[in-house]
């Protein structure tokens, strides 16, 4: 304890001796010599003993004199009424406050004290409240001298009575497996100052004292009995008996399968707090309306998360601050948005979040370092979705484009949105001194679960040789390569096995302004015979014609 003066030191001593907080005022500093208990007005200010001026909300309880606040009830006193070296008359306050009320005020002000911790957990409103006050008055007279005024002002509008609780002996035996006699139970309760009202062969009725706010239910009494009787007397059961549910949630093996895939990709699973700050909630990549908490623990945890990327990004920053650059993290969890159709309900989504800031591969003497960029992340995404049996995938520019991203795209299967993928701007990397690009990915697992294909068909490898053709075309700069690749696949017949884009060229000095050149490689193979040049030439001619006619492409 930090020594202040003999009066304050005595009140702190009694706090630790009895467990009941007290507060002392300089009586001569109290306007009109009155004490008024009220809630604060919204935006009302008050300077506490730590010399901080605090802006209060309506859920903060105040102790006031005839004109102004003099203390935050159950938390901390005010600077204007503190005990000083010039104090002559002392007013002692011994109170009982509603625990949730004190907790709300303490958390709202981010102010936790020895007093607030005890009031939040519950104190004794009866005997201990009066005893602590008398004990403090006695110590002050002993240490500082003076006289004590006779009597006290006692305002107790709604008296809190001891709580009646019934405990069944058969319930005690079922939970503990101990055969404890009723008389032993009576003796234990009486030794703990728990008043026994009545008892028979089946039950025992007691009154839980007000200094034990933790005793509320039958199970609390059973805990007290076995705690005193001896936990070590409970025999271990070598036979484990449990019931299995007849139905298994199919989502669980699906999520475990996803974990195995990403661990195989070289990622570590993260488990983040679902409570985030307002800034993190507003920065969510989905554009969801954030959901505030009615009774937040702190300003850093006052909203439900709207995506998984913001908590993962926070973990990445912590790793970067500790000079760890090679980071690959994923998380499976729920994100929340405010239901636009209701003021009181929340929509939940089961998502997968991924963040990557690393090389493509681990450091190796045979390989040069190569950063894992957006396209590496896209390839990983395609492998994952292929593993899920989802093949009709498109990446499209999105209307909702958060500022920090260099690339940010929607992931769709047909017309159904299943996720988002992006890469941060270089300025972000410089801010946090990151060596590698930061790639993010978030997928809607509820949607993927419905789209997945559990049954995979085996197809033998063709024994016939394959053929390749290259095509280079000039198109508008805003033309998406994905659109052209889909068109090539559609016109490529059953012989076209794969298409990849391997080059992109943009230079207004060498090409028509507003144009770009794309180069594709096409693989052809038959499962039935060896293809001839004329077979592939006919297919290539169809592809050329559709690209020229439909998209205005020019062959290079």
Would 152 be classed as within a structural domain?
Answer: no
- What is the pLDDT, as a whole number, of residue 400? 62
* CA separation for the pair 107, 542 (Å, rounded): 70
Domain co-membership, 446 together with 471: no
* pLDDT given at position 399: 67
The CATH number that applies at residue 287 is 3.30.930.10
In the predicted structure, residue 398 carries a pLDDT above the cut 80:
no
Please compute the mean of the pLDDT values over residues 314-318 and round it to a whole number. 90
Identify the pLDDT of residue 393: 87
Residue pair 37/65 in contact (Cβ under 8 Å)? The answer is: no
Give a yes or no: residue 459 inside a domain: no
Domain co-membership, 410 together with 299 = yes
Q: How many angstroms separate the CA atoms of 122 and 193, rounded? A: 18
State yes or no: pLDDT of 240 exceeds 80. no
Q: Specify the CATH number for the domain of residue 525.
A: 3.30.70.380
Q: Looking at the structure, do residues 267 and 337 belong to the same domain, yes or no?
A: yes
User: Model confidence over 415-443: pLDDT tens digits?
Assistant: 899 999 999 888 877 877 777 889 999 99
If you write DSSP's letter for every residue of 391-423 in order, what string do you get?
--EEEEE-S---TTEEEEEEEEETTEEEEEEEE
| Same-domain check for residues 12 and 85 | yes
Same-domain status, 398 and 508: no
Share of the chain above pLDDT 70, in %: 95
Phi and psi torsions of 103, nearest 5°: -65, -45
Same domain, 44 and 104: yes
* Residue 518: strand, helix, or coil: strand
Question: How far is the CA of 418 from the CAs of 286, 309, 396, in angstroms?
Answer: 11, 15, 12
Q: Is the residue at 471 inside a domain?
A: yes
Residue 310 domain-assigned?
yes
Among the listed residues 89, 92, 101, 4, the one whose alpha carbon sits nearest the alpha carbon of residue 50: 4
Span 290-312, pLDDT tens digits: 888 888 878 888 999 999 999 99
Pair (301, 383) in one structural domain: yes
137 & 272 share domain: no
Rama region for 39: left / alpha / beta (φ>0; ψ in -120 to 50; rest): beta
Compute the distance between CA of residue 404 and CA of residue 423 in angstroms, rounded to an integer.
Answer: 9
Q: Is a pLDDT exceeding 90 seen at residue 461?
A: no
Are both 480 and 383 inside the same structural domain? no
Count of domains observed in the chain: 4
pLDDT given for residue 64 in this prediction:
94
Cβ(190)–Cβ(197) below 8 Å:
no
**What confidence tier does 185 reach under pLDDT thresholds 50, 70, 90?**
very high
| 54-63, 208-217, 455-464: least confident range | 455-464
Is 90 within a domain? yes
Sheet holding 405-413, edge to edge: 268-269, 327-338, 346-357, 439-444, 416-424, 405-413, 393-397
Structural domain contains residue 243: no
Structure confidence by residue, pLDDT tens digits, 95-140: 999 999 999 899 888 889 999 999 999 999 988 899 999 999 999 9
CATH number of the domain encompassing residue 184 = 3.30.56.10
* Same-domain status, 197 and 304: no
Any domain includes 365 = yes
Residue 455 clears pLDDT 70, i.e. is over it: no
In this structure, is residue 456 part of a structural domain?
no
CA 303/CA 275 separation, integer angstroms: 6
Residue 244 has pLDDT above 70, yes or no: no
Lowest mean pLDDT among 78-82, 170-174, 295-299, 454-458: 454-458
The pLDDT value given to residue 245: 61
Model confidence pLDDT, tens digit, residues 331-381: 999 999 888 777 778 899 999 999 998 877 776 667 777 788 888 899 999
CA-to-CA distance for 93 and 269, rounded, in angstroms?
52
Angle in degrees, CA 322, 326, 332, rounded to 5: 95
Same domain, yes or no: 477 and 437 = no
CB half-sphere exposure, 509, CA atoms < 13 A: 0
User: At residue 263, does pLDDT exceed 90?
Assistant: yes
pTM for the predicted model, two decimal places: 0.59
Q: Phi/psi of residue 393, each to 5°?
A: -115, 135
Quote the CA–CA distance of 206 and 198 in Å, as a whole number. 7
Q: What is the mean pLDDT of residues 185-213?
A: 94
In terms of domains, do 280 and 410 share one? yes
Identify the domain containing residue 329 by its residue range.
251-451
pLDDT digits (tens, 9 = 90+) for 72-87: 999 999 988 899 888 9
Q: What is the pLDDT of residue 363?
A: 67
Q: Are 29 and 80 in contact (CB under 8 A)?
A: yes
Per-residue pLDDT at 42: 92
């Amino acid at each position: 304890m930090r020594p202040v003066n003999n009066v304050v030191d005595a009140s702190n001593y009694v706090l630790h001796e009895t467990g009941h907080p007290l507060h002392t005022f300089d009586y001569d500093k109290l306007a009109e010599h009155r004490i008024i208990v009220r809630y604060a007005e919204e935006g009302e200010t008050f300077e506490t003993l730590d010399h901080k001026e605090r802006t209060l909300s309506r859920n903060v309880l105040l102790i006031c004199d005839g004109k102004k606040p003099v203390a935050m009830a159950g938390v901390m006193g005010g600077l204007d009424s503190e005990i000083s070296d010039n104090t002559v008359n002392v007013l002692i306050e011994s109170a009982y406050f509603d625990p949730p009320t004190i907790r709300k005020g303490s958390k709202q002000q981010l102010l936790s004290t020895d007093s607030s911790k005890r009031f939040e957990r519950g104190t004794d409103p009866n005997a201990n409240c009066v005893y602590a006050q008398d004990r403090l008055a006695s110590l002050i007279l002993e240490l500082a001298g003076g006289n004590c005024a006779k009597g006290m002002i006692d305002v107790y509008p709604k008296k809190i009575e001891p709580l009646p609780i019934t405990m069944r002996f058969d319930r005690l035996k079922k939970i503990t497996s101990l055969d404890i006699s009723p008389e032993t139970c009576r003796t234990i309760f009486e030794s703990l100052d728990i008043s026994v009202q009545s008892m028979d062969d089946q039950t025992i009725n007691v009154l839980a004292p007000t200094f034990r706010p933790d005793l509320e239910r039958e199970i609390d009494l059973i805990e007290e009995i076995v705690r005193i009787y001896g936990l070590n007397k409970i025999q271990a059961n070598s036979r484990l008996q449990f019931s299995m549910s007849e139905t298994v949630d199919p989502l669980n093996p699906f999520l475990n399968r996803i974990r195995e895939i990403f661990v195989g990709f070289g990622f570590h699973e993260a488990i983040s707090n679902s409570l985030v700050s307002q800034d993190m909630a507003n920065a969510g990549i989905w554009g969801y309306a954030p959901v505030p908490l009615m009774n937040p623990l702190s300003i850093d945890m006052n909203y439900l998360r709207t995506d998984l990327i913001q908590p993962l990004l926070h973990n990445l920053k912590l790793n970067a601050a500790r000079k760890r650059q090679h980071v690959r993290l994923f998380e499976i969890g729920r994100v929340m948005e405010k239901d636009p159709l209701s003021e009181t309900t929340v929509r939940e989504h089961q998502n997968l979040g991924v963040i990557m800031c690393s090389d493509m591969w681990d450091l190796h003497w045979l390989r040069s370092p190569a950063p894992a960029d957006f396209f590496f992340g896209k390839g990983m995404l395609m492998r994952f979705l292929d593993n899920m049996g989802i093949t009709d995938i498109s990446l499209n520019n999105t209307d909702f484009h958060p500022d920090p991203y260099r690339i940010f795209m929607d992931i769709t299967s047909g017309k159904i949105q299943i996720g988002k993928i992006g890469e941060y701007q270089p300025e972000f990397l410089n801010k946090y001194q990151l060596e590698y690009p930061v790639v993010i990915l978030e997928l809607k697992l509820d949607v993927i679960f419905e789209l997945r294909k559990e049954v995979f068909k085996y197809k033998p490898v063709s024994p016939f040789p394959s053929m390749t053709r290259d095509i280079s075309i000039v198109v508008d700069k805003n033309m998406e390569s994905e659109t052209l690749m889909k068109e090539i696949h559609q016109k490529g017949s059953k012989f076209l096995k794969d298409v990849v884009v391997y080059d992109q060229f943009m230079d207004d000095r060498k090409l028509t302004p507003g144009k770009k050149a794309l180069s594709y490689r096409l693989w052809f193979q038959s499962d039935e015979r060896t293809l001839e040049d004329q077979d592939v030439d006919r297919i290539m001619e169809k592809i050329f014609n559709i690209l020229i006619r439909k998209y205005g492409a020019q062959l290079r």
